[in-house]
Amino acid sequence: MRRQGQAGSWVPGSTIVQSGNMGSFQLNDEWTAGVLLPSPLTVLTTNGTNFINLSGLGVLTGAGPIQIRVVGFILINQTTGQPVMVARSVEQLSS
């Protein structure tokens, strides 16, 4: 397995914080592989996820999209059969 990077806009209102940085959000994937992935793509985060230019999962809030890049692994959710991304890092991109 090799980590992949995907970039696009965070979907407003999609952030779910379970505890600390553990949770999920959705990404409108605008990179090349995005055509092969569901839109929006569910991104799972853990307390080990590295947030760059963001203080953590909880700051993904607001009414407007936030441009981000996610590096991690694409896995299949056994319950839904749909791809999800498990994030190693989430970076807010400059606007």
Residue 11, pLDDT > 70, answer yes
- The pLDDT score that the predictor gives to residue 28 is 93
Residue identified by tokens 């981000």 is: 68
Q: Which domains does the chain have, with CATH numbers?
A: 4-92 (2.40.50.140)
> In terms of pTM, does the model score above 0.85?
yes
Residue 31, pLDDT > 80, answer no
- Beta-strand ranges (E) seen in the chain are 4-10, 16-19, 22-29, 41-45, 50-52, 67-76, 83-92
Per the structure block, which two tokens stand in for 54? Answer: 């963001």
What backbone phi and psi angles, to 5 degrees, belong to 11?
-85, 115
